[in-house]
Each structure stands twice: as structure tokens, then as C-alpha cells.
């Protein structure tokens, strides 16, 4: 099957009053674009698959102008947090955050999943603190924000932590997601002092050098 990578880049968050109107803030958008180019672009760009940035009606023109040099990226308008955008029937749609990176083996791992699985998830991931250079491993009981949807399904119809309540989910073992802590995250937290530091050479598998 074909693959496409999708991220909610600047979609309104009405359920989160503190961040609901961030998509209208040009300074915030430009900071997101900086992080996007630093992490997602080198990570996904090397995989040879298309990417889609979902943006509000108001922010889409600015974002499209700023990423116009990236031929593999398409900006699409979406004003609903839970979406409506879908891929094609013969596509795996991978959702991820625009300031994160994915492991070079993710697409192959998804293709190797059982055919009855509607969604592939991972509960393990690495988190990288850009200010301290600390890289740590995590494991959660719930699915991480990285997930691949078979058959072009809307990847944002449900919150990532509840995917296993709505789909036939296959958990892929291993840390295929690299979360980046940069101080402006909505939910991710800085790695705690007691977590073991991993060698930064492991970032290379995510396209980060």
C-alpha cells in the first residue's frame, strides 16, 4: 500500500481554551514552522512519501507560502480538530505531530502488521530535550501520538490515547516515535532527572543529526 504522513499543523483547538486561537498567531506559526523544518522535514523527507499539513482557513495561506519549496508537502484546510480529511483506500495514513520525528523503519513495520489491523500504534517512544541534549526512552499503557491508519481512514477522528477503543489496533513494539521537548509543547514534559540518558547517536535513525 502507499503511504502518506499527516499532521495537524495549525488547526483550531476549541476544546483547549488556552491554545484555541494559536493558529491565528503569526509568531506562533513561524515558531512551529522552524520546528517543523528542524525535525519533521529531515525525518520524513528522506522516506520518499508525501506529507500533508492540516491548517485553519486563516493560517493556510501563510503556511503554504512558507513551505512552498517542499514539493512533497501539501497544505490542506481543516477547521475541525477531529477532522474530516481522509486518504485513499489504498493508503496507510500516518498521523504525527509536526515537531516530532519518526524512525526510518516505521513504514516497513506498518506494512508487516496483520492485515486485520485497522490501525497500527506504538506505546514506546524516545523523547529528546533540545535544551539539555538529553535523550530518554519511554513506555506508556496508551497509544502514542504516532499511528498509521489502513485504508485512508480519517487519522484524527479520535484522540490518540483512545484509538484502541474505536479500532482493531495492532501495537508495534519498539520506539518508532521521537518526541521533541522544546519548551513550547502543549502536553509533552521535559525528561525527568532520574531517567537514563541514551546516546545521541540513536537520533540518526530518526533523521536527526
Q: What is the dihedral of CA 43, 45, 47, 50, to 10 degrees?
A: 130
pLDDT digits (tens, 9 = 90+) for 157-196: 999 889 989 999 999 999 999 999 876 555 566 777 778 9
Dump pLDDT digits (tens) for 2-13. Answer: 999 999 999 987
Q: Tell me what pLDDT residue 70 has.
A: 98
Which of 18-27, 50-59, 125-134, 176-185 has the weakest average pLDDT?
18-27
pLDDT category of residue 26 using cuts at 50, 70 and 90: confident
Q: What is the pLDDT of residues 110-148, one digit of tens each?
A: 999 999 999 999 999 999 998 899 999 999 998 999 999
Q: Which fold has domain 2-121+145-173?
A: Spore Coat Polysaccharide Biosynthesis Protein SpsA; Chain A (3.90.550)
Q: Could you tell me if 178 and 137 are in contact, meaning their C-beta atoms sit under 8 angstroms apart?
A: no
Check whether 150 has a pLDDT greater than 70: yes
Q: Strand pairing of 2-10 and 51-55?
A: parallel
**Residue 42 CB burial class (10 angstroms; 0-12, 13-18, ≥19):** middle
pLDDT of residue 184: 56
Q: How far apart are CA 154 and CA 9, in angstroms?
A: 15
**Res 185: pLDDT:** 53
Q: Please, which residues have CB within 8 angstroms of residue 138's CB and are 6 or more apart in sequence?
A: 124, 125, 126, 127, 175, 179
The pTM (predicted TM-score) of the whole model is 0.92
Amino acid at each position: 500500500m502507499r503511504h502518506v504522513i499527516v499532521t495537524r499543523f495549525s488547526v483550531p483547538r476549541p476544546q483547549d481554551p488556552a491554545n484555541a486561537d494559536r493558529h491565528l498567531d503569526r509568531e506562533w506559526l513561524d515558531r512551529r514552522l522552524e520546528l517543523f523544518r528542524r525535525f519533521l522535514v529531515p525525518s520524513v523527507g528522506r522516506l520518499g512519501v508525501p506529507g500533508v499539513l492540516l491548517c485553519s482557513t486563516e493560517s493556510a495561506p501563510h503556511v503554504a507560502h512558507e513551505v512552498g519549496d517542499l514539493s512533497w508537502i501539501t497544505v490542506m484546510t481543516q477547521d475541525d480538530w477531529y477532522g474530516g480529511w481522509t486518504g485513499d483506500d489504498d493508503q496507510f495514513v500516518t498521523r504525527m505531530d509536526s515537531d516530532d520525528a519518526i524512525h526510518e523503519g516505521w513504514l516497513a513495520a506498518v506494512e508487516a502488521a496483520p492485515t486485520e489491523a485497522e490501525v497500527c500504534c506504538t506505546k514506546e517512544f524516545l523523547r529528546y530535550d533540545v535544551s539539555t541534549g538529553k535523550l530518554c526512552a519511554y513506555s506508556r499503557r496508551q497509544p502514542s501520538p504516532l499511528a498509521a491508519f489502513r485504508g485512508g481512514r480519517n487519522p484524527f477522528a479520535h484522540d490518540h490515547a483512545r484509538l484502541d477503543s474505536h479500532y482493531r489496533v495492532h501495537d508495534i513494539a519498539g520506539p518508532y516515535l521521537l518526541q521533541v521537548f522544546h519548551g513550547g509543547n502543549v502536553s509533552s514534559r521535559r525528561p525527568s532527572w532520574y531517567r537514563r540518558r541514551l546516546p545521541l547517536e540513536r537520533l540518526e535513525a530518526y533523521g536527526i543529526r
